[in-house]
Amino acid sequence: MSGSFLGLFKYPLCFAVLYLGYFPVSYSQIMTVQGKIDSESMGTVLAHEHVMVDWVGADQTRNHRWSVNEVVARALPFLKEVKQKGVTTFIDCTPAYLGRDPLVLKKLSELSGLQIITNTGFYGAGENKYVPKKVLEASADSIARVWIHEFFKGIDSTGIKPGFIKISVDANTQLSSFHQKLVAAAALTHLQTGLTIVSHTGSDEAAGQQIDILKKMEAPTSAFVWAHAQNGTMQGNLDIVGQGGWISLDGVNADGENGKKNIDFYVQRLLVLKERKFLDHVLISQDAGWYTVGEENGGNFRGYTDIFEVLLPELKKNGFTSEELDLFMKVNPARAFSLKPVKY
């Protein structure tokens, strides 16, 4: 990550408003690594996946640790495969300092024909290992300033702009003070950019506390996506959806000896949400991929087809209509990730 990126901490937050005059935004649009598209053009969407991850930590990760060509060569066949399944848009949820590389994603988008979306934000889970030390002491305003700059000016010198905010918090019953700052920074960024907030969240309590922070800051709960909501309870999922938030059930995995159990879990949870008439606030995905930096040839790369080959057929067997499946794969992602009207 460039020094100029962290250097933004010294400027007042209000500077971001100045960008609004020459960055026209339509609120039925999505920001991809190749530019804006209309939300109607998203088509079938994988809402939470990964191309690459680097677990070494914020203090050591840099793009010299991987070969762009090697990553592209490893990931491209899997992206082409899922495009053949009808996928149009691929949302990459790897954040800064954890292996986000917008140039890799742009090249993969060009070669695969998929519309790929990257993000801005910081990943606090894992006891802040993937957050630069300087950021830990920064204010919510200062953190938001960096993310807002990426939205209006692009990530580093690439000119590639994020299409959502990705944060993460540890699965504790009480958010740490820093993780509360991350959520507050995401709210501030949303209010000035309209970007959706996707938060890696592991517990009902952590999800509820984030919703409370958004309400306190007058950010709409509809801007919040609880990533990995399958790790929460059914009641916790219902509580967040009932307050207008989104739940992302994104651990679909039909592989291995637990594959059937995994698919059955998703079918049953979706049946309850259908009964409660909450399907219009649900996203589904796989959290798959994962070229792992430092492992030979990126390690064990998992493909992105389980939803199409296993889950969707099982849902049909259990009475889900084509219209309901389109909610998960097309309608809901377009609504969830469309740029929202800004407050300022």
In sequence order, the β-bridge partners of residue 130 are: 123
pTM of model > 0.85:
yes
Residue 242 located in a structural domain: yes
Q: For 43, which DSSP code?
A: -
| Domain membership flag for residue 25 | no
Q: 267: number of CA atoms within 13 Å, CB side?
A: 18
Q: Which two structure tokens, joined as six digits, stand for 313? A: 């057929």
| Residue 167 included in any domain | yes
Check residue 13 and give its pLDDT.
Answer: 53
- What is the per-residue pLDDT across 50-95, written as a single tens digit (0 to 9) for each? 999 999 999 999 999 999 999 999 999 999 999 999 999 999 999 9
> Has residue 4 been placed in a domain?
no
Q: In this predicted structure, what is the pLDDT of residue 20?
A: 41
User: Which pLDDT does position 19 carry in this prediction?
Assistant: 42
Q: What is the pLDDT of residue 154?
A: 98
Q: Can you give the pLDDT at residue 133? A: 96
Is residue 28 one of the residues assigned to a domain? no
Contacts of residue 279, defined as CB under 8 A and 6 or more positions apart, other chains included, come to 270, 273, 324, 327, 328
Asked whether residue 343 is assigned to any structural domain, the reply reads no
Question: How many C-beta atoms surround the C-beta of residue 39 within 10 A?
Answer: 20
Residue 27 domain flag: no
pLDDT tens per residue across span 167-194: 999 988 899 999 999 999 999 999 999 9
DSSP 8-state symbol, 302: B
Tell me the CATH number at 123: 3.20.20.140
Token reading at 159: 């000119």
Helices 140-153, 177-193: inter-axial angle, 10-degree rounding: 40
Range of the domain at 168: 44-337
Buried b / exposed e along 322-338 (16+ C-beta atoms within 10 A): eebbebbbbbbbbbbbb
In a domain, 32, yes or no: no
How many domains does the structure of the chain reveal?
A: 1
- Residue 155, helix vs strand vs coil: coil
Mark the ranges of the chain whose per-residue pLDDT is less than 70.
1-27, 343-344
pLDDT of 343 reads: 62
pLDDT score of 4: 42
